[in-house]
Amino acid sequence: MNTTTSIFESKKDIVRYFEQLRTQTLNILRPLEPEDYVVQTAFFMSPPRWHMGHVSWFYDQLLRRHDREYRQFSKDFDHYLNYYYYSFGRPFEKGSRGTVSRPTVAETREYFEHINRSVIRFLRQAQEQNKLNDELRRLFFLAFQHEFQHQELLVYDIQHLLQDKYRPPEMKQLPAGKPVGGMVKIPGGIFEMGYNPQLWGNNFCYDVEMPVHKVWLDDFFIDRVPVSNGDYLQFIEDDGYENFRHWLSDGWEWVQNEKIVAPLYWEQDGNGEWYRSDFRGRLAVKDTLNEPVVHVSFYEAWAYARWAGKRLPTEAEWEKAAAWDEDSGKRRLFPWGNDAPDARKTNLLESGYWAVCPIGAFSAGVSYYGCQQMVGDTWEWTSSEFMPYPKFKAGFVEYNEKWFGNQKVLRGGSFGTPMDGTRNTYRNFFRPPERWLLSGFRCAKDA
Amino acid sequence: MNTTTSIFESKKDIVRYFEQLRTQTLNILRPLEPEDYVVQTAFFMSPPRWHMGHVSWFYDQLLRRHDREYRQFSKDFDHYLNYYYYSFGRPFEKGSRGTVSRPTVAETREYFEHINRSVIRFLRQAQEQNKLNDELRRLFFLAFQHEFQHQELLVYDIQHLLQDKYRPPEMKQLPAGKPVGGMVKIPGGIFEMGYNPQLWGNNFCYDVEMPVHKVWLDDFFIDRVPVSNGDYLQFIEDDGYENFRHWLSDGWEWVQNEKIVAPLYWEQDGNGEWYRSDFRGRLAVKDTLNEPVVHVSFYEAWAYARWAGKRLPTEAEWEKAAAWDEDSGKRRLFPWGNDAPDARKTNLLESGYWAVCPIGAFSAGVSYYGCQQMVGDTWEWTSSEFMPYPKFKAGFVEYNEKWFGNQKVLRGGSFGTPMDGTRNTYRNFFRPPERWLLSGFRCAKDA
Amino acid sequence: MNTTTSIFESKKDIVRYFEQLRTQTLNILRPLEPEDYVVQTAFFMSPPRWHMGHVSWFYDQLLRRHDREYRQFSKDFDHYLNYYYYSFGRPFEKGSRGTVSRPTVAETREYFEHINRSVIRFLRQAQEQNKLNDELRRLFFLAFQHEFQHQELLVYDIQHLLQDKYRPPEMKQLPAGKPVGGMVKIPGGIFEMGYNPQLWGNNFCYDVEMPVHKVWLDDFFIDRVPVSNGDYLQFIEDDGYENFRHWLSDGWEWVQNEKIVAPLYWEQDGNGEWYRSDFRGRLAVKDTLNEPVVHVSFYEAWAYARWAGKRLPTEAEWEKAAAWDEDSGKRRLFPWGNDAPDARKTNLLESGYWAVCPIGAFSAGVSYYGCQQMVGDTWEWTSSEFMPYPKFKAGFVEYNEKWFGNQKVLRGGSFGTPMDGTRNTYRNFFRPPERWLLSGFRCAKDA
Amino acid sequence: MNTTTSIFESKKDIVRYFEQLRTQTLNILRPLEPEDYVVQTAFFMSPPRWHMGHVSWFYDQLLRRHDREYRQFSKDFDHYLNYYYYSFGRPFEKGSRGTVSRPTVAETREYFEHINRSVIRFLRQAQEQNKLNDELRRLFFLAFQHEFQHQELLVYDIQHLLQDKYRPPEMKQLPAGKPVGGMVKIPGGIFEMGYNPQLWGNNFCYDVEMPVHKVWLDDFFIDRVPVSNGDYLQFIEDDGYENFRHWLSDGWEWVQNEKIVAPLYWEQDGNGEWYRSDFRGRLAVKDTLNEPVVHVSFYEAWAYARWAGKRLPTEAEWEKAAAWDEDSGKRRLFPWGNDAPDARKTNLLESGYWAVCPIGAFSAGVSYYGCQQMVGDTWEWTSSEFMPYPKFKAGFVEYNEKWFGNQKVLRGGSFGTPMDGTRNTYRNFFRPPERWLLSGFRCAKDA
C-alpha cells in the first residue's frame, strides 16, 4: 500500500491525518533560513512565517470555541495572524505583513507546536468521549483543507521569494512520456455537476462545490493535454504579446502597463534564448518544451486560445471532460475513477511531494474521454467566473462566499497541490492577472 | 400612430432614422453652455464635446472605407476622438480627455453637421444606385446603435457634471401607479435565450446577443417590480453599509475605501433627512420612495439582496422572466410582445424623451409572468459576468468582444436609454463598482 | 512720456492704475474661446476662468471688510475661487479646478465687471472723503500686485493649455542685438540688500523684500547675460541629461522619472532637429539660439552650471550685481537706475505687452557692473531657498510667509511679467522641478 | 584617561580605531534576532542587515581600488548593497530593500568579518611599508565616518522596527540636572564659520564643513537649552496641531495628510494621557517632561517656534552660539573647548554608548555663551537649507554634494550619534517632514 492512498484512508484516523499534514507544512518550510520567513516580496504574497502562524491560528479559533480546557498561547499573535476574517476582529493589513519581524520564527514555531499538542489532545479526548460529532469533524476538516491551501500558497510564495534558490528536499521529476496531442470530442446534453455526497461519501468538500445541479452543454472539443511550453513558445514567437487583437481589453492594458512579454519566471538572455526558473533551478525553455506551461495569467491563457483559433473551456465543460463516464452513467471523483491519487496514476509521489510531470508522462490517469493530466500537474484556467452554484447554501461563515465575483475558476490541481487537496469538483479561483500560482490551461472549441 | 412606433418603423427609411437620432443627440446637448462641453469630472466620464465628436468620427471611419467621394473634415480630430479602437491608430488617453480645449464646440458642431450631410448624401446615393446591401446596412446600424449608447452615456456624464442643474427641456414624470410587490414563480427547464433573427427579423442586434442557445434553469422566484427607493432606504437604515456580512469582499473594500454610505447622488442633511439629485432637481427621498432605486453599484445590489434573504438573478433568469410566453411557446422581443415600445406600454414619451416612472406606473407592459417595468425604467444588475454565449462569433472587429470579462451584465434599459436602444435580449455591461449609470435591480430567489 | 512710465506714475492716480491693470487682465484673455477658460491641463495649472474670478475675489474680500455699501455678487463663487487662504474658509482643492464648468465664463465676466464698478466707486468715494489712508492704500496695492502675479500665471497657464496656438494680439519681438558674453567681477564685502523705503518711497513692495539687512559676500564673477538657447543646446548635445554627475540627487531622480531630455516645450523631430513652441508658434531652436533659454527647472539650471564649471548665484549676489552702484554708493531699484522700466531700457513695450528679447537686444538697461537683461527677459534661478530675511515681520496675514521653505528664489522678471510687477528686490519663488514658468538663469563663479 | 578621549586619540592608531568602530557596529546589532535584520518598515528605513553589509561594501570599494592583494568576497553582494552611488553601478531600489532575504545575516556577517581582516591587513601593511599617505588616510577616515553615520541610522531604523522592544545592553540615563531655561544674547558682526584645519588639525571633517568663510550676523537671542517634552506638550495642549496659522503651507498639508497630532512614537491613551516609546520602553510623557523633545520634523519645530513667538536659528547662528569664545577670540571645536567629548562634559558614556540626558543634566559642557546640551543630546533643526558654503570644493566624488537642496541642516548630534561622529561644525541634513531621527530643536529670536 503506498503512502498517498494511506493518507487518503487516514481520514478515518483524524489524529494521524492531522499529524501528517502538519509534518508536511514543516517539510515545505524546512529549507528556509530564518530571514526567508519574514520577507514579503509583493502585496499578494505573505511571509512564510505568517502562513505558519496563520494556519495554526485557525485551529486556535476552533479550540477557543469548542475546547473548554484550551489555554491560549499568546494574545499577541491574534492581530498579525488574522488575514481577512472580519468576524474575528480587525484583520492585519495584507500589504504590511512584511514590515514586522516579531513574533520571531522560533516563537511562531513554538505556537505551531502548542497548537499541535492542543489539537491532538482535544481530538483524542473527543474521540474517547464520543464527542467528535459530524459538525466538529467538518470544522476540523475545514481547518485541514485550509492548511492544504496555505501549503500550496507557501510553495508559490517561497518561489516568488527565492526563485531558483528554493530546493524542496524530496522533489522529483517524472521521466518524459509519450508525446500526445489533439482534441477529444465531448457530446452535449444535460450534465450534472458538483460534489455529490451520495456518490462519494461525507469526505470533506467545500461548500462552493455544492449542490449538484444541472447544466446544459452543447457538443464541444477539448485538448487532450495541457498547453506545453513548446506550444506557448510559438505564441511568443508569433508576436503574441505585441498584437492587441488576441487580447481582452483589460488584458491588453495589463500587458502594456506591466510590460509583460512571457510567463512569470521566464527571461530571455542576450542571444534571445529563453530560460525559466523553478524548483530545479534555472532551465533552458528548450529543455522543457514538453512540460505544461505554468505561471500564466487568465489574460495570457485567453490570448493564447484566441491566437490558436480556440477558446477556454467553461468549468462545466472541464468537469464533464474530467468526470463523466458514459459507460457507467456516473461521475468519477478523479479522472481515473474514485480512488485517491497514487503514484501509478498521477504525479503525487509516495513521499507526499510532488513531481514535475512532462506531457504524456503517465497515461494511467486518463479520464473516460481520454484527457490526460487533468489533476495534479497545473491548475487550468476556465472561462467561468467564480460564482455560487444554483441553490448554493453557505456552509461556513465568511469562508468562500465573500470571494464570489471578479475571479476566474481554475480546475485540476497543480504539482504544488497537497495530497487530498483537490478532486474533479474542486473550484480554485484567482484574479485574471494573477500568475505567481502554478497556473496553466488547456483549450476547448465549439463542435 | 405614435412617434415611437413610427421611429421603430422608420428603420425602413434609413435616412429619416439617421436624421431623427442625430437630432436626438443635439436635443440632449441643447441645454449645455460651451464650458460644460469640455470638462471631465472623473476618469470614467467623457466631456460632452468628446461624445459629440466621437459618434461622428464613427461614421467618418465608415465613409472613409465605403464612400469614394467622401471628403475628410480635418485630420486634427482623429487622435482626440478615437477612444479605444487600436485598429484605427493609437487611442487618446481616456483620463486626459478633459485636458484639451480644442477643437472648440463650434468646430465640433461643424464636424457633426459635415458628417450629417455626408452620411445623408451617401445613403441616398446608395439607395438610388441600389448599393445599400445588407453588409452596409448592418455597418450603419452599428453606427446608429453606437450613437444610441453614447446618447445614454451623455445623459450619465452630464448628470455627473451638472448634477441637479441639468434640465432636459421635454422631460416628464409619469403619475404614480398602483403600488405592487411580491415575487412571481418561474418554472425551470431548458430555456432558449439570445436574439433570434427567425423570430424577429434582421433588425439590428449586437453580436453578443447571439447565437440562440439552450440553458438549463431550475425553478426560481423573481421580484415583480424593481427594488424601490423605499425598499433601499430600509437597508440603509438597518446599517446595511456598516455590516460586512452582507458584502462581497471586494464590495466591502470598496465601501470602506470610497466611504460609500448611500447610492450616488444621495446625501443626508444635518437632520438625517436623505436627498437625491436628478434631472428634476434636488428631491427628498421620502418624496420618491415609490420610484426604482438607481445609481447603485453591483456590490450594493448584491449586498441588498443578501440582506433581504434573496439573491440577484442570472441573465438567463432575467431573460426568461421578461421574454417567455408559456401560452405561445415563443419568446417576445419585449416584455409585452414584439411591438416596439410606445407610450401605452412603457415610459418612452412620444417626444422620444424618457419619463421617470414610479413603481406600478403602468401595467400595460407586463411580461407573461407578470413582471413590470423590465424595460425602460432602470438597468438591472444580474449576477452574470459579461462573457460570450456558446458558439459566439464576433460580428464586428474590436467592438464588443474585447470587453468580455470583469464586467457584469445589466438588462432592461433605463429611462436614459434611447428609443430603439434596448430589447429583452440586450446585454449591457459595466464594472461592479460603477454607478454613475442609471442602474438598479430586482431580486430573485431559489424556489 | 511713454506709456510704461506713465503707468508707473499712475500710482498717484489709483483708480486709473486699477483700470489699466484690469484691462490688461482682459487683454491677456481676449484670444481665448470659452472652452479654453475651463480646462485644467495639470495639477499646477489653473483654468483661465479661475484666475479671472480669483483676482476679483481678492477685491471682494477687501470690500466686504472695508466697504459698508458693498453688495456681494453671489455666494456661489466663494468656495471655487478661494485657492489657499484658510483664513477665508476651506479652499477648493487645487487639482480639481478643471472638473467644474460653472459658473460660466459669462457669469465670471459679470462678476469681474461687478468688482470693477465696486472698486472704482469705493476708491473714488474714499478719495473724496479723504478716507484712503496708508493702510487701505497698502491693501489695495497688495490686491493689484496679486493680480499682476496672476496675469503672469495666466500667461504660463494659457501657454500650457494652447502651446503654440496662443497668439497675444500685440506681442512683438525685439531685433537681435550685439551678441555679448563673458562674466563680470563683483567685489565682495558687506552688502545691504532688501527694499528700502527711504530710498524708493512707499511704493508697494512685498513684505518678504524687507527689511534691509547686511550680508557678507566674497568676491565673485557673474555672467554678463543669461544663458542662451545656443549655450544650453551644447549642454544637451554633450549628453548633459544622461550624465548623473552634473545633477543633484533629487534632480537626477526627476530626470529619470519624468523622462526629461530638454526644456519644456522643446521637441526633437525625426532628424534630430530641435523645435520650441512659444507665443510666436513652433520655431526651430537653431533660429532662436541667441535668445535666453526659458522653461528650465532649478535642477536643469544647477546641472548646466556644474557642467559649465560654474555655479548659480545666491540671491544676494544677484541683487548686488543688479543694484549696486559703486560710484554713488547707493543701490538702484532697477539695473539702470530708479526710473520705471520703459521701452528704451527694457523689453516692456509701450502697449504694456512684453517683447521677446534676444541676447544683447538693448544695452541701455545694463547694471553698474555691466550685466544685461537682468529684469524683464526671464526669471533667473538663484541657489537660495525662499526664506525670510533677518528680522522679517509679516506684513500681511497668510500671504507670503506660509510659502517659506522648499522653494527657490528667482530674480529679475520675465517677458511675461506685467508692468510694475518686478524690481531688483523682487523675490519670486517656485519649486525646484517647476518649469512651466518663464524661467532661465545666469551663472556665477567663485573669484 | 577615559575611553572616549582615548578613542579620539586613537586616530593616531588607525587600526585600533577601525577595530573599535567595527565592534561598536556589532554592539548595536547584538540584541537583534535574525528576523529583525531583514525587515523594512518604511521606504526611508533600511533593514539592519543592509546597513551591516553596506558599511562593509564601502571598504570593499576602497580595497578594490587600492589593494592589489584584495580578494573580493562575492559579487552577489554588490547590487544589493549599493545604495545610491551611480559611479559604482546601478543602485538597488531603496524602497525594495526589504523584499530580499538573501544574502542571509550569517553570510553578511561573514562578509563583515572578511572586510575586517582585509582592512586590518591592508592598513598594517601600508603602515609598515610607509604607504599610508594622506590621501589614503583621508579615504579610510571617510569610510569610518560613513560607518558612524550608518551606526546612527541603525539606531533610528531599529527603533522604527522594534519601537519599545529594542534594549541596547549598556544604555543609561543620566540623573536629572538643575532645570534651566531662558535665552542668551549673542552679539552680531562678522563671524567666521566652518571647519578650520589650522585650528583643529587634519582630523577628518566632511568637505561640506569647509571652507571657513565669513557671514554677517545681527544680534540675536538663542535658547539656553533645547525645547523639552514639557514645553512641547503645552504647544499640543494649546491646539498647536489644529491651527494652520502656526504652520508653513507644506507643513500644514503634511499634518493634514498624515494626520499628525504629536511627535513620532507618542500616543495618547483613552484618558488623554500621553506616552512615548524609546529604548527604555513605553514611558508616560509626564515622567519625561524635563527631557529634550525628539522625533519632531522641521515643520513641527517651525510651528512650535512661531507659536512661541520665536523662530529657528540659522546654522550660522547656531554655530556661533556653540563655538565662539569672545575671550580668546577663537572658535572651539566643541561647546566646551577643543577636547574630545568625555563623560564629564557630555552624555557620551565610557562604554561608548549614549545616555539619555535630561535638561540641565550636566553643566560642564556649556558653550562660552552659556548654551547647554548643544552636542550629543538631540540633533537641532536650523532654518538653513543644506547648501554648499561659498567656495566649496567637493572633496569626494558623489558623496555629499549631490544631496544639496531640499533638505534642512541639523546641528549638534544626538544621543544616537557615535563617538567622534560630531562637532560644532558638523552639518547633518534631513528633509523637512522626516522625524524618525533623534531630532529636536532650540529657538532663536531677533534682538
- pLDDT class of D134 with cuts at 50, 70, 90: confident
| B147, pLDDT greater than 70 | yes
Do the chains contact at C216 and D218, CB–CB below 8 Å? no
Instruction: Tell me what percent of chain B is helix, strand and coil, each rounded to the nearest 5.
Output: 40, 15, 45
pLDDT at A138: 87
pLDDT at D254: 96
User: Is residue C194 classed as helix, strand or coil in its secondary structure?
Assistant: coil
Is C214 near chain D, with CB under 8 Å? yes
Do the chains contact at A104 and D35, CB–CB below 8 Å? yes
Is C10 near chain D, with CB under 8 Å? no
Q: A3-7, A95-99, B389-393 — which one is most confidently predicted on average?
A: B389-393
Do the bridges between strand B220-223 and strand B444-446 make them parallel or antiparallel, or are there none, so unpaired?
Answer: antiparallel
Whole-angstrom distance, CA of residue A80 vs CA of residue A92: 5
Closest CB to C34: pick one of B34, B98, B162: B34
What is the rounded average pLDDT of the residues B126-148?
91
| D1, pLDDT greater than 50 | no
Do the chains contact at B402 and A302, CB–CB below 8 Å? no
Q: Give the DSSP H or E segment for D411.
A: strand D408-411
Q: Beta-strand (E) ranges in B224-341?
A: 266-268, 274-278, 281-284, 324-325, 330-331
Task: Evaluate the omega torsion of the peptide bond into residue D34 and state whether it is cis, within 30 degrees of 0.
Answer: no
Whole-angstrom distance, CA of residue C369 vs CA of residue C227: 18
Burial code (b: 16+ CB inside 10 Å, e: under 16) for D406-425 equals bbbbbbbbbbbbbbbbbbbb
Concatenate the DSSP letters of all residues of A305-331 into one string. Answer: HHHTT-BPPPHHHHHHHHHEETTTTEE
| A8, pLDDT greater than 50 | no
| D7, pLDDT greater than 50 | no
Contacts of C65-69 with CB under 8 Å at 24 or more apart are C66/C122, C66/C136, C66/C139, C67/C118, C67/C122, C69/C121, C69/C122
Summarised one tens digit per residue, pLDDT across range C381-433 is 999 999 999 999 998 776 788 999 999 999 999 888 887 888 999 999 999 99
Q: Are D280 and D272 in contact (CB under 8 A)?
A: no
C-alpha cell at A56: 495554526
Q: Of B413-417, C113-117, D14-18, which gets the smallest average pLDDT?
A: B413-417
A298 contact residues in B (CB cutoff 8 A): 405
What's the burial of C178, exposed, middle or buried (CB within 10 Å: 0-12/13-18/19+)? exposed
Summarised one tens digit per residue, pLDDT across range B297-344 is 999 999 999 999 999 999 999 999 999 999 999 999 999 999 887 777
Summarised one tens digit per residue, pLDDT across range D79-99 is 777 654 555 555 567 777 788
- Which has more confidence, C5 or D365? D365
Closest CB to D39: pick one of A101, A161, A162: A101
Establish how many alpha carbons lie within 13 A of residue D193's alpha carbon, considering only the half-sphere containing its beta carbon.
Answer: 27
| D379, pLDDT greater than 70 | yes
Give the best residue of A393, A402, A430, A431 to mutate against chain B (max B CB count within 10 A).
A402
C387 contact residues in D (CB cutoff 8 A): 383, 385
Task: Show which of residues 23-52 on chain B sit within 8 Å of chain A, judged by CB atoms.
Answer: none
Helix C105-128 to helix C14-29 angle, to the nearest 10 degrees? 170
B99 contact residues in C (CB cutoff 8 A): 39-42, 98
- pLDDT class of B444 with cuts at 50, 70, 90: very high
pLDDT at A227: 97
* Residue B91 DSSP symbol: P
Is A402 near chain B, with CB under 8 Å? yes
pLDDT at B354: 66
Concatenate the DSSP letters of all residues of B122-143 into one string. Answer: HHHHHHHTT---HHHHHHHHHH
Q: Nearest-CA residue of chain B relative to C45?
A: B99
Q: Are D275 and D267 in contact (CB under 8 A)?
A: yes
- pLDDT class of B6 with cuts at 50, 70, 90: very low
Q: Which amino acid, D89?
A: G
Give the list of residues 6+ apart from residue A233 with CB closer than 8 angstroms, or none.
A274, A285, A289
Concatenate the DSSP letters of all residues of D169-181 into one string. Answer: TT-EEPPP-----
Closest CB to C98: pick one of B98, B102, B165: B98
Concatenate the DSSP letters of all residues of A193-250 into one string. Answer: ES--HHHHTT----GGG-S-EEEEE--EEEESSPPBHHHHHHHHHTTGGG-GGGS-HH
Give the best residue of B35, B46, B100, B160 to mutate against chain C (max C CB count within 10 A).
B35
Whole-angstrom distance, CA of residue A138 vs CA of residue A144: 10
What is the rounded average pLDDT of the residues C248-268?
96
C162 contact residues in B (CB cutoff 8 A): 101-102
Do the chains contact at A249 and B84, CB–CB below 8 Å? yes
**D abuts A (3+ Cβ pairs < 8 Å):** yes
Separation in Å, CA of B182 to nearest CA in chain C: 43
Q: Which amino acid, D76?
A: D
Q: Of A365-374, A414-423, B60-69, which gets the smallest average pLDDT?
A: A414-423
CA angle, residues C425, C428, C434, in degrees to nearest 5: 155
pLDDT at B7: 35
CA angle, residues D337, D341, D346, in degrees to nearest 5: 100
- pLDDT class of C191 with cuts at 50, 70, 90: very high
Separation in Å, CA of D206 to nearest CA in chain C: 18
Summarised one tens digit per residue, pLDDT across range B360-409 is 776 668 999 999 999 888 999 999 999 999 999 998 776 788 999 999 99
* φ/ψ (deg, to 5) at A345: -115, -15
What is the rounded average pLDDT of the residues B85-100?
66
**ipTM score here?**
0.93
- Which has more confidence, D322 or D178? D322
Do the chains contact at D404 and C248, CB–CB below 8 Å? yes
Is C216 near chain D, with CB under 8 Å? yes
- pLDDT class of A380 with cuts at 50, 70, 90: very high
| A166, pLDDT greater than 90 | no
pLDDT at B377: 86
Concatenate the DSSP letters of all residues of B194-240 into one string. Answer: S--HHHHTT----GGG-S-EEEEE--EEEESSPPBHHHHHHHHHTTT
Summarised one tens digit per residue, pLDDT across range A99-143 is 888 889 999 999 999 999 999 999 999 999 999 888 898 899 999
- Which has more confidence, A376 or D366? D366
Q: Are D418 and D148 in contact (CB under 8 A)?
A: yes
- pLDDT class of C242 with cuts at 50, 70, 90: very high
pLDDT at A358: 82
User: What is the percent of chain D where pLDDT is above 90?
Assistant: 68
What is the rounded average pLDDT of the residues A137-153?
92
Helices (H), C129-248: 134-162, 197-200, 229-237
pLDDT at D90: 54
Q: Nearest-CA residue of chain A relative to D45?
A: A99
Q: Give the DSSP H or E segment for C275.
A: strand C274-278
Residue of B33, B104, B113 lying closest to B73 (CA atoms) = B113
Distance of CA B393 to the CA centre of its chain: 23
Whole-angstrom distance, CA of residue B181 vs CA of residue B198: 35
C-alpha dihedral (A333, A337, A338, A339), degrees to nearest 10 = -130
Do the chains contact at B35 and C98, CB–CB below 8 Å? no
C-alpha cell at C413: 522678471
Do the chains contact at D98 and A100, CB–CB below 8 Å? no
Give the list of residues 6+ apart from residue D243 with CB closer than 8 angstroms, or none.
none
pLDDT at D2: 33
Q: C112-126, C200-214, D68-82 — which one is most confidently predicted on average?
A: C112-126
How far is the CA of D303 from the CAs of C272, D310, D311, D326, D379, in angstroms?
Answer: 51, 10, 9, 33, 17
Q: Of A354-368, B151-165, D290-304, which gets the smallest average pLDDT?
A: A354-368
Residue of B340, B342, B322 lying closest to B331 (CA atoms) = B322
For chain D, the average pLDDT equals: 89
What is the rounded average pLDDT of the residues C222-249?
97
Q: Are A318 and A411 in contact (CB under 8 A)?
A: yes
C41 contact residues in B (CB cutoff 8 A): 99-100
For chain B, the average pLDDT equals: 89
Instruction: Tell me what percent of chain D is helix, strand and coil, each rounded to the nearest 5.
Output: 40, 15, 45
Residue of B150, B128, B122 lying closest to B55 (CA atoms) = B150
Q: Of A425-439, C60-74, C209-223, which gets the smallest average pLDDT?
A: C60-74
- pLDDT class of A395 with cuts at 50, 70, 90: confident
Do the bridges between strand D220-223 and strand D183-186 make them parallel or antiparallel, or are there none, so unpaired?
Answer: antiparallel
Give the list of residues 6+ apart from residue D393 with CB closer than 8 angstroms, or none.
D207, D210, D211
| A81, pLDDT greater than 70 | yes
* Residue A189 DSSP symbol: E
Whole-angstrom distance, CA of residue A43 vs CA of residue D441: 38
Do the chains contact at C49 and B35, CB–CB below 8 Å? yes
Is C391 near chain D, with CB under 8 Å? yes
* φ/ψ (deg, to 5) at C123: -65, -40
Separation in Å, CA of C49 to nearest CA in chain B: 10
pLDDT at A7: 35
pLDDT at B347: 73
Separation in Å, CA of C157 to nearest CA in chain B: 12
Separation in Å, CA of D44 to nearest CA in chain A: 13
D39 contact residues in A (CB cutoff 8 A): 38-39, 98-101
Give the best residue of D402, D408, D429 to mutate against chain C (max C CB count within 10 A).
D402
CB atoms within 10 A of CB C242: 10
Whole-angstrom distance, CA of residue D356 vs CA of residue B134: 89
pLDDT at C347: 73
Q: Are D168 and D444 in contact (CB under 8 A)?
A: no
Give the list of residues 6+ apart from residue A338 with CB closer than 8 angstroms, or none.
A199, A200, A332
* Residue B34 DSSP symbol: G
| A165, pLDDT greater than 90 | no
User: What is the percent of chain B where pLDDT is above 70?
Assistant: 92
Q: Beta-strand (E) ranges in B63-196?
A: 172-173, 183-186, 189-193
3-state secondary structure C242-272: HCHHHCCHHHHHHHHHHCCCCCCCEEECCCC
pLDDT at B288: 93
User: Is residue C311 classed as helix, strand or coil in its secondary structure?
Assistant: strand
Q: Are A53 and A111 in contact (CB under 8 A)?
A: yes
pLDDT at A263: 98
Helix D48-66 to helix D134-162 angle, to the nearest 10 degrees? 170
Summarised one tens digit per residue, pLDDT across range D194-218 is 999 888 886 678 999 999 999 999 9
Residue of B155, B57, B160, B99 lying closest to C35 (CA atoms) = B99
Separation in Å, CA of C404 to nearest CA in chain D: 7
| C121, pLDDT greater than 80 | yes
pLDDT at D412: 94
Summarised one tens digit per residue, pLDDT across range A171-195 is 777 777 777 889 999 999 999 999 9
Q: How many residues does chain A have?
A: 447
Separation in Å, CA of D142 to nearest CA in chain C: 20
pLDDT at C442: 98
Whole-angstrom distance, CA of residue B279 vs CA of residue B265: 11
Separation in Å, CA of A103 to nearest CA in chain D: 9
Do the chains contact at B33 and C101, CB–CB below 8 Å? yes
- pLDDT class of D3 with cuts at 50, 70, 90: very low
Closest CB to B218: pick one of A245, A390, A398: A390
Whole-angstrom distance, CA of residue C387 vs CA of residue B272: 48
Closest CB to D101: pick one of A33, A42, A102: A33
